[in-house]
Amino acid sequence: MTTTIIRNAYVVSLDDELGDLPRADIRVDDGAITAIGTDLTFPADAAVIDAAGKVALPGLVDSHRHVWQGAIGGAAGGQSLGGYFGVVLGALVDKYEPEDVYAGVLWGALKALNAGITTVADWSHIVTTPAHADENVRALRDSGIRALFLYGPPVGQGVVKWFVESTERHPDDVRRMRAELADDGARVTMGLALRGPEFASPSTTAYDFRLARELGVPISLHSGIPGYLLRYRTIDTLEELGLLGPDVHHAHGAQFSDDDLRRIAATGGAVTPCPTIDMTMGMGTFPLVGRALEHGLVPSFGTDTIAGGGADLFSEMRVALAAERARANAAALARDEPPATVDLDQRDVLRFATTGGAAAWGMGDRIGTLRPGKRADIVLVDTSGAHLTPLNDPATTIVLNAGSSDVDTVLADGVVVKRGGRLVGPVAERARDLIEASRRRLLARADLAPALGPDWAA
Ligand SMILES: [Zn+2]
């Protein structure tokens, strides 16, 4: 048995019974939290992490991210959704060989871990061949992150063919992968990233959903996106086809009507706004936060794409909270009245980024809070920076101010993957070399230097 003891942390457990513990130890045995309390005993050979001056948080959950894009951060920074499609899905996606998928996913996952994201729902549409899919999964496993590999459509075979009212059925290779990722208790498990009514024909959607349910895996869709939504209204179509259910997860969703949200809630579905991308790429005026809550849906958060957004969830929490308050305030402002109260605060959005994501994927018994019995996905935030001092309420101060560089230590499934502010372990340095080599190959193949800017071309 391997034991790690985290000593003297300020623990923000987000557990209803434990609450905040201003000075506590966390004991980890074989990847599981076994005790949280003051002055815990531990064996002499335990690995000891001194966490004085640090805040322990549950690992963050990114419920919608295209992890393969590790090499192309900012590539669509100046683009709307249509421009993103042109640059990333039009010009780049078919330039990826399996080795680029490995490099991109490995670095993409390490970028997430670096930001304290210990679980990611990886919406993978870089699966041009089965070999691409294999490298995606291998990189997720090697990175140390907890992941739901959402096996998507092979958009590299043709973005129009697969993404515009497509009649191509979801690849049969998902059956092979399901046999390989059959253990639901494993760190990397499987779901299907489906196109749904906004990208595929209704009969194709019906086939794809039947496939997911035959395999017994969750479904993730891009839903409630302007323009696309007008062609086939997602919820109307899914309802007509009898496909709504608790296994259906909707990324984005800012354009959903109240009636759409009512039906998602009534059938047990989940929603994942991607606050930065929803607003900057024009997928809606406000991310789907307060409107989801009004219908009893607790949102989780996604970063979506680092080609146009950031790599961390601290920013997403801030953006979501500011946007939601702006939305809620708008009615009073329209009457030329000052808004009297606010409904959401920093702890609420911290819950959406932890317990919200865990619940959305049926992982609430294993992750999302710090509590004995759960897996040891733990983030230690260094609070010595001027921007975090004095700490006052830790959760509030962290959500208002923290970023990836304040994440001192990360344990993923009990394994230390970041320590002293640096990614550690056998893959970290290799991953950096691999991503630089992949970036150069992609640049040569894609001839995208003008679109990708001088830093990319350097
Ligand atoms: Zn997406």
Residues shown for the chain? 458
* 8 shares its domain with 133: no
SS (H, E, C) 293-325: HHCCCCCCECCECCCCCCCCHHHHHHHHHHHHH
Q: Is position 367 within any domain?
A: no
36 CA to centre of ligand 1 in angstroms = 37
* 256 shares its domain with 396: no
Q: Is position 256 within any domain?
A: yes
252 CA to centre of ligand 1 in angstroms = 8
Q: Is position 453 within any domain?
A: no
Query: Strand 270-272 relative to strand 248-252: parallel, antiparallel, unpaired?
Result: parallel
User: What pLDDT score does 456 carry?
Assistant: 47
168 CA to centre of ligand 1 in angstroms = 20
* 29 shares its domain with 132: no
213 CA to centre of ligand 1 in angstroms = 22
User: What pLDDT score does 450 carry?
Assistant: 55
- The backbone torsions φ and ψ at residue 326, rounded to the nearest 5 degrees and listed phi first, read -60, -45
What's the pLDDT tens digit per position in 78-132? 888 888 988 898 889 999 999 999 999 999 999 999 999 999 999 999 999 999 9
392 CA to centre of ligand 1 in angstroms = 36
193 CA to centre of ligand 1 in angstroms = 10
Q: Is position 431 within any domain?
A: no
336 CA to centre of ligand 1 in angstroms = 37
Contacts of 387 (CB under 8 A, 6+ apart): 401
* 36 shares its domain with 88: no
48 CA to centre of ligand 1 in angstroms = 39
User: What pLDDT score does 340 carry?
Assistant: 80
* 49 shares its domain with 66: no
* 233 shares its domain with 293: yes
329 CA to centre of ligand 1 in angstroms = 28
List the CATH number of the domain containing 33: 2.30.40.10
Rounded Cα–Cα distance for residues 441 and 237 (Å):
42
List the CATH number of the domain containing 132: 3.20.20.140
150 CA to centre of ligand 1 in angstroms = 11
274 CA to centre of ligand 1 in angstroms = 8
Using CA atoms, how far residue 325 sits from 256, 272, 340, 456, in Å, is 19, 18, 12, 36
User: What pLDDT score does 228 carry?
Assistant: 62
450 CA to centre of ligand 1 in angstroms = 24
Rounded Cα–Cα distance for residues 137 and 390 (Å):
42
390 CA to centre of ligand 1 in angstroms = 37
User: What pLDDT score does 86 carry?
Assistant: 86
66 CA to centre of ligand 1 in angstroms = 6
What the block records as the tokens of 439 is 């970036």
User: What pLDDT score does 458 carry?
Assistant: 46
Those residues of the chain that have pLDDT short of 50 are: 456-458
User: What pLDDT score does 264 carry?
Assistant: 98
Residues with CB under 5 A from ligand 1 (ion): 304
Q: What's the one-letter identity of residue 9?
A: A
User: What pLDDT score does 428 carry?
Assistant: 93
Q: Which domain holds residue 31?
A: 3-57+374-421
305 CA to centre of ligand 1 in angstroms = 7
What's the pLDDT tens digit per position in 288-309? 999 999 999 999 999 999 999 9
Number of domains in the chain: 2
Using CA atoms, how far residue 338 sits from 54, 260, 290, 343, in Å, is 38, 31, 19, 15
Burial environment of residue 417 by CB neighbours within 10 A (0 to 12, 13 to 18, 19 or more): buried
Cβ-contact 224, 252 below 8 angstroms: yes
Q: Is position 434 within any domain?
A: no
* 289 shares its domain with 411: no
Burial environment of residue 445 by CB neighbours within 10 A (0 to 12, 13 to 18, 19 or more): middle
Q: Is position 21 within any domain?
A: yes
* 67 shares its domain with 47: no
* 99 shares its domain with 14: no
* 271 shares its domain with 381: no
Using CA atoms, how far residue 365 sits from 6, 107, 356, in Å, is 22, 28, 12
457 CA to centre of ligand 1 in angstroms = 26
Q: Is position 217 within any domain?
A: yes
224 CA to centre of ligand 1 in angstroms = 12
221 CA to centre of ligand 1 in angstroms = 8
User: What pLDDT score does 133 carry?
Assistant: 98
* 53 shares its domain with 174: no
- The backbone torsions φ and ψ at residue 166, rounded to the nearest 5 degrees and listed phi first, read -70, 145
Q: Is position 351 within any domain?
A: yes
220 CA to centre of ligand 1 in angstroms = 10
Rounded Cα–Cα distance for residues 351 and 27 (Å):
23
116 CA to centre of ligand 1 in angstroms = 20
* 179 shares its domain with 94: yes
Tokens 């061949």, residue? 129
